[in-house]
């Protein structure tokens, strides 16, 4: 089983790259979907957040008010660290369990661990190859403004709340730059997939270590 760790900066197009890889046959394990599951009403992480923040950060149906949570964590490093400390252990447990189960069911199918905080959670040490999707900071900001209706100040606050993209690029095994068209992005994904196939073949060769 070959595992790709997929990460990148906010609004760099990581989810689009994941979709392209899925069309090539990869199995996508989306950490964000596990995170949403982890904070469903009544789950342990949900209860911890409720105890910490109280009812003000929850909607009438008992679900998290994601807009309020986002406003909090993108402007408060301590709050961001706190909520990550609550949610991440549950997400990591779910991700690893899912990977193991799929590995038994699907054998050699390539897995893509789509994890925004891949390096922060040290999951780069658990995959065979790390792919970072990057974009210029100005491109990130414009996408955030258009996609989320944010002001420039809010967009850059979200960008700067993350590990610097330059650090992720330096630690990556492979980088895809998404500053242009979907066609240009697809071409880079095609080249990346060729590299993955080469590495998978090497692993399968007798005597490879």
Phi, psi of 208 (to 5 degrees): -70, 135
* Closest by Cα among 30, 9, 3, 2 to 169: 9
Confidence of residue 209 (pLDDT cuts 50, 70, 90): very low
65 with 58: CB under 8 angstroms?
yes
116 with 18: CB under 8 angstroms?
no
Q: What Cα–Cα distance (Å) separates residue 143 from each residue in 138, 148, 152, 159? A: 9, 8, 11, 11
Q: What is the pLDDT of residue 208?
A: 47
Token digits of residue 184: 């240009």
Q: 113 has which bridge partners?
A: 5, 29
Q: Is 80 helix (H, G, I), strand (E, B) or coil?
A: helix
Q: What is the pLDDT of residue 90?
A: 95
Confidence of residue 70 (pLDDT cuts 50, 70, 90): confident
DSSP per position, 140-201:
HHHHHHHHH---HHHHHHHHHTSPPHHHHHHH-SEEEE-SS-HHHHHHHHHHHHHHHHHHHH
Q: 28 has which bridge partners?
A: 112
Mean pLDDT over 13-23 rounds to: 97
Q: Please tell me the distance from the alpha carbon of residue 22 to that of residue 80, in angstroms, as a whole number.
A: 30
Q: Please write the tens of the pLDDT for every residue from 92-108.
A: 999 999 999 999 998 78
Write the DSSP symbol of residue 10: T
Give the pTM.
Answer: 0.90
Q: What is the pLDDT of residue 203?
A: 80
Q: Give the full edge-to-edge strand order of the sheet including 174-177.
A: 27-30, 111-114, 3-8, 129-134, 174-177
Confidence of residue 181 (pLDDT cuts 50, 70, 90): very high
- Which residue is it, tokens 């197009």? 13
Q: Please write the tens of the pLDDT for every residue from 118-157.
A: 999 999 999 999 999 999 999 999 999 999 899 999 999 9
Say yes or no to pLDDT of 207 above 60.
no
Confidence of residue 188 (pLDDT cuts 50, 70, 90): very high
CATH of domain 3-196: 3.40.50.300
- Which residue is it, tokens 């949900």? 46
Q: Please write the tens of the pLDDT for every residue from 28-51.
A: 999 999 999 999 999 999 999 999
């Amino acid at each position: 089983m070959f595992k790709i760790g997929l990460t990148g900066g906010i609004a760099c197009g990581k989810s689009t790259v994941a979709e392209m890889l899925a069309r090539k046959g990869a199995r996508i394990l989306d950490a964000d979907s596990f995170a949403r599951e982890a904070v469903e009403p009544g789950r342990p992480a949900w209860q911890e957040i409720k105890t910490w923040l109280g009812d003000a950060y929850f909607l009438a149906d008992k679900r998290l008010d994601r807009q309020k949570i986002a406003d909090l964590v993108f402007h408060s490093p301590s709050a961001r660290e706190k909520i990550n400390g609550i949610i991440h252990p549950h997400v990591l447990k779910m991700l690893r369990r899912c990977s193991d189960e799929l590995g038994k069911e699907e054998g050699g199918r390539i897995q893509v661990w789509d994890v925004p905080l891949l390096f922060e959670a040290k999951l780069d040490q658990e995959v065979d190859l790390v792919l970072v999707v990057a974009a210029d900071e100005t491109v990130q900001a414009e996408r955030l403004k258009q996609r989320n209706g944010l002001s420039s100040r809010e967009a850059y606050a979200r960008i700067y709340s993350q590990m610097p993209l330059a650090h992720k690029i330096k630690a990556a095994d492979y980088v895809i730059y998404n500053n242009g068209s979907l066609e240009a992005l697809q071409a880079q994904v095609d080249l990346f997939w060729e590299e993955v196939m080469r590495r998978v073949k090497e692993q399968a060769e007798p005597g490879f270590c």
